[in-house]
Structures are given as structure tokens and as C-alpha cells.
Amino acid sequence: MDGDPDELACAWREFREETGFLHVQADSERPLGSFRLPSGKHLHVWAVEGDCDPAALRSNLFEMQWPPRSGRMQFFPEVDRGGWFERAMALRKITAGQRAVLEKFYAGLA
């Protein structure tokens, strides 16, 4: 997959919404492919070199009923925190359904 321009624009929008970080279009994005999560959702993923301060992460909010079946609606951040990790720790921390994304990324570095 070379990376559809519309999907890439969507990925940058999601990145901005979920982290609060802006990007400078540098045409350095490297497509990693499409990945199917256990939920059935498909991720279209690119790798790009950059530097973001995890302490500056500011996520958008989503609304859901909480506690379940209570009728009370509350807002929660889509991303609660960010961090930089060495390869082994990143592979331990990522969800099982997203592990293939990191494995593909690391394989491309070899």
C-alpha cells in the first residue's frame, strides 16, 4: 500500500485531535499498511519522524454513559497519556490487536 492521500489526511487529523500536536507536512511519511483490529476496525498507518513532548499531549474528549446503564453522560479524553518507550517495553505496553503495527515498524528499521 502506497498510502491513499485521503487516508493520510484523515490520519493527520486524527493525530491532531487525539494528541493536540500539529504537524508540518514534510512528505516523509512512510506507509506501514492497513491492519485489522480484533474489533473489525481497520487502521491505515504511516510512520513519520518527529518529536512530541508527552507532557504536552492534549486529547479531544468523547462522551459516554458512565457508570453503565446509569443514564449519566460523562466526558473522557480519547488519549489519557503518552510516553516514549524502548522497543521491548513498547511491545509489552501496546494492545495485542495493535502489536502488528509496531512489529511492522521495527521490521522496516532493520
pLDDT in tens, 80-105: 999 999 999 999 999 999 999 999 99
What does the pLDDT average to over 1-9? 73
Question: Which residues on neighbouring strands pair with residue 64, listed in sequence order?
Answer: 74
What does the pLDDT average to over 54-78? 96
- β-pairing, 61-65 with 42-47? unpaired
Question: Which residues on neighbouring strands pair with residue 20, listed in sequence order?
Answer: none
What 3-state class would DSSP assign to 58? coil
Length of the chain: 110
What 3-state class would DSSP assign to 64? strand
Tell me the pLDDT of the chain averaged across its residues: 91
pTM: predicted TM-score of the whole model, two decimal places: 0.79
Give the Cα separation of 7 and 64 in Å (integer).
27
Q: Where are the beta strands (DSSP E) in 16-87?
A: 30-36, 42-47, 61-65, 73-77
Contacts of 29 (CB under 8 A, 6+ apart): 3, 8, 46, 47, 48
Position 62 scores a pLDDT of 95
